[in-house]
Homo-oligomer: A and B are copies of this chain.
């Protein structure tokens, strides 16, 4: 029986937006200021702020303010629950597929008799 991960919804939701994924990819190069993230996307600052807060609430990034500059950085371990869920699903899904394959294999053998 699969476990229930309450934190998966905000994570998947945060990852569902291409702008947010591109922000993550940019941050993978290293920390960046809000303005640095605004320029390549062509989005206004408040819009970027919104995306950043979604990412931060999902635990995917962390931010800190020094003077008037807010610096954003990735939280590498944040993807772990997603990975765990994915591993679990694959195990179940492929297990099911395995059983179907076994059945098909048996049926084929029977048919060749």
Residue numbers of A with Cβ under 8 A of B are 2, 4, 8-9, 12-13, 15-18, 21-22, 24-26, 28-30, 74, 76, 79, 82-83, 86, 89-90, 92-94, 96-97, 99, 102-103, 105-106, 109-110, 112-113
Interface residues of A, dominant DSSP: helix
Q: Is the CB of B109 within 8 A of A25?
A: yes
Select which of B28, B93, B96, B106 is within 8 A of A92 by beta carbon.
Answer: B28
Q: How far in angstroms is the closest Cβ of chain B from A89?
A: 6
Select which of B15, B76, B105 is within 8 A of A25 by beta carbon.
Answer: B105
Q: If A18-B112, A86-B83, A93-B79 touch, does A25 touch B2 (CB 8 Å cutoff)?
A: yes
